[in-house]
Amino acid sequence: MRNKLHYFFAPRSIAVIGASSQVDSPGYVIFKNLLDNRRAGVLKARVYGVNIKGGVSLGEKLYRSVTEIPDEIDHAVIAIPAKFIPDVLDECGRKNVKVVTIISGGFSEIGNVELENNVREIGKKYGLRIIGPNGLGVYDPYTGVDTLFIPKSKDVDGKEMINLARPPRGFVAFLTQSGALGGALLDYLCGENLGISKFVSWGNKIDVDEIDMLEYLKDDPNTRVVAIYVEALKERAREFVRIGREFTLIKPIVILKGGTTEAGARATQTHTASLAGDYAVYIGAFKHMGAVIVESVMELMDASKALALQPPARGRNIGIISNGGGPGIITADLLEKRGLRVPPLSDDTLRELKQAINEGIIPTIATFANPIDISGTATDEAYVRATELVLNDKNIDLVIILALHHPPTLTSKLPDKLISVVKDSKKPVLVMDIGLGELSEYVRRRFEASNIPAYALPIRIVNGACALVNYGEYLARRGALDEYIEKWSPPRISG
């Protein structure tokens, strides 16, 4: 039997309960998202609006109840005041709806514990799976399901500006207990062009939780890595660790824990109605399950990108190729401070690098301490040769290419030339090009289109490298690294 969670992301039909004609109300925004995606051909599901007052919204008839819809409903999205939800949920149960996303707040997070328990019980009675309440719900760029009530644009002095675009298709599933963080993260991901496979914001998390999603995502072909923001795990913590420890043999998990300090923990108590618990206990458990533990939103993104696109590293020895001393030195400093190593290259590699100088391919002023600096006068060919040699160095487990595009000697063909060298490698490769200008973005996107993660700052590429090393060391401890790398293949956008 298919995992029932499938209906959240790929329903045949969706009802929006609380669809309305009031612009920018949550029900309106969600109804519009879905209708737009259906009209654009992305969403295949049939879409229905429900409003107790009936009427019309966005040119569509609104049904007074989900039970009036002349079709089976797989996924109901509820965006109405909390107190009406038990009755509506009961109707969903009688209608044989499969899964429900509850957007509305007004439950345990403001003390309405009984109402929340009541909703949970109704769900159980009918076997309805529930995401929420008090979250943003789900977004799936592959199927077009989008329950985010955040408008895509807003009026600024009479001009429509993008308020929150949706990220493109990719390989990272993001699960978040905080809706605000979730929305903000999506906004950031769009700008970074980091695609996602699925997004779930579950707020009070009264039913579907991390464990359910791991069981579901294990077999999701689009998901290569799961990134989680969690404040508290409540009663299922032990099971999460057990399931997580199986999951991480198949796909990596990255976790950002909120409430790890006194101030943070104090705030979580009043947020999503949960105790953050003892940080050390959480971190110990996450380590045991093999999760890559991160400390910031930025690191969550950087680690997820590396893990989604590249295989884990076989060790902590990093080779750095650069055309500029300073960026290479800063990167080496940051790597070593994080416990990685930037060791001397092997004698064979050094010999061949010197040979490349003699052949006139690498500039005479190049220096081969690791980081190796092929200098600001390096050409595309110098980069290609240095990369080939360092990639094959037996002392090196992961290669960082700092391909600063600025000097006049480098052409816009450099990314393609380097991609052809590294694309079939099972030794991980990361690229950095510092900058936010047109060509910087172009270079990074060119690499990423071929699954080479590209970063705009030294600290961010170091975050990526640490994730690949940490995950590799975990798999090695479990005796699973060789098989994992053997089976590993680059991700591909499906559908």
**Within 456-495, which residues bind a second copy (CB under 8 A)?**
456-460
Query: How do beta strands 398-402 and 372-373 pair?
Result: unpaired
132 binds a second copy (CB under 8 A): no
Cα–Cα dist 63/61, whole Å? 6
Instruction: Report the 10 Å Cβ neighbour count for 482.
Output: 11
Which is closer to a second copy, CB of 159 or CB of 492? 159
Phi, psi of 399 (to 5 degrees): -110, 130
User: Judged by CB under 8 A, which of 123, 132, 144, 183 binds a second copy?
Assistant: 183
Q: Is the peptide bond before 312 cis (omega within 30 degrees of 0)?
A: no
The residue to which tokens 């300090």 are assigned? 261
Give the footprint of a second copy on residues 371-410 (CB under 8 A). 371, 373, 376-377, 404-408
Which is closer to a second copy, CB of 10 or CB of 332? 332
Cα–Cα dist 80/77, whole Å? 10
Determine the distance from the C-alpha atom of residue 73 to the mean position of all C-alpha atoms in its chain, rounded to a whole number. 29
The distance of closest approach from Cβ of residue 31 to a second copy in the complex, given in angstroms and rounded to an integer, is 14
Which is closer to a second copy, CB of 94 or CB of 266? 266
Give the footprint of a second copy on residues 203-232 (CB under 8 A). 229, 231
Contact by Cβ (8 Å): 16, 48: yes
Q: Which stretch binds a second copy (CB under 8 A): 5-13, 65-73, 212-220, 366-374?
A: 366-374
Cα–Cα dist 343/349, whole Å? 13
Beta bridge partners of 140: 145
- What is the SS3 assignment for 264? helix
- Is residue 438 within a helix (H) or strand (E), and if so which, with residue range? helix 438-449
Question: Which is it for the CA torsion 181, 132, 209, 491, positive or negative?
Answer: negative
User: Judged by CB under 8 A, which of 36, 187, 215, 388 binds a second copy?
Assistant: 187
Contact by Cβ (8 Å): 370, 345: yes
Contact by Cβ (8 Å): 315, 445: no
CA nearest neighbour of 469 among 399, 393, 403, 418:
399
154 binds a second copy (CB under 8 A): yes
Q: Which residues contact 305 (CB under 8 A, 6 or more apart)?
A: 172, 194, 453, 464
The distance of closest approach from Cβ of residue 45 to a second copy in the complex, given in angstroms and rounded to an integer, is 24
417 binds a second copy (CB under 8 A): no
Q: Which residues contact 116 (CB under 8 A, 6 or more apart)?
A: 107, 108, 133, 204, 206
CA nearest neighbour of 78 among 94, 212, 87:
87
CA nearest neighbour of 254 among 177, 318, 308:
308
Write each residue from 256 to 295 as x if it is in contact with a second copy (CB under 8 A), else as -, in one continuous string.
Answer: x-xxxxxxx-xxxxxxx----------------------x
CA distances from 412 to 176, 323, 367, 446 (A): 38, 15, 24, 10
- Judged by CB under 8 A, the number of residues near a second copy is 104
The distance of closest approach from Cβ of residue 422 to a second copy in the complex, given in angstroms and rounded to an integer, is 21
Which is closer to a second copy, CB of 442 or CB of 488? 442
Which is closer to a second copy, CB of 25 or CB of 392? 25
435 binds a second copy (CB under 8 A): yes
Give the footprint of a second copy on residues 41-100 (CB under 8 A). none
The distance of closest approach from Cβ of residue 435 to a second copy in the complex, given in angstroms and rounded to an integer, is 3
Per-residue DSSP letter, 311: P
Six-digit token pair at 303? 């680690």
Which is closer to a second copy, CB of 266 or CB of 477? 266
User: Judged by CB under 8 A, which of 52, 190, 283, 357 binds a second copy?
Assistant: 190
Give the footprint of a second copy on residues 293-312 (CB under 8 A). 295-299
The distance of closest approach from Cβ of residue 160 to a second copy in the complex, given in angstroms and rounded to an integer, is 9
Q: Which stretch binds a second copy (CB under 8 A): 60-68, 70-78, 120-128, 329-337?
A: 329-337
18 binds a second copy (CB under 8 A): no
Give the footprint of a second copy on residues 439-458 (CB under 8 A). 439-440, 442, 456-458
The distance of closest approach from Cβ of residue 174 to a second copy in the complex, given in angstroms and rounded to an integer, is 12
The residue to which tokens 């960026």 are assigned? 327
Q: Which stretch binds a second copy (CB under 8 A): 6-14, 18-26, 117-125, 243-251?
A: 18-26
User: Judged by CB under 8 A, which of 237, 369, 476, 480 binds a second copy?
Assistant: 369
Give the footprint of a second copy on residues 155-174 (CB under 8 A). 155-157, 161-165
The distance of closest approach from Cβ of residue 478 to a second copy in the complex, given in angstroms and rounded to an integer, is 29
431 binds a second copy (CB under 8 A): no
335 binds a second copy (CB under 8 A): yes
- What is the SS3 assignment for 437? coil
Which is closer to a second copy, CB of 41 or CB of 408? 408
Write each residue from 340 to 359 as x if it is in contact with a second copy (CB under 8 A), else as -, in one continuous string.
Answer: -xxx----------------
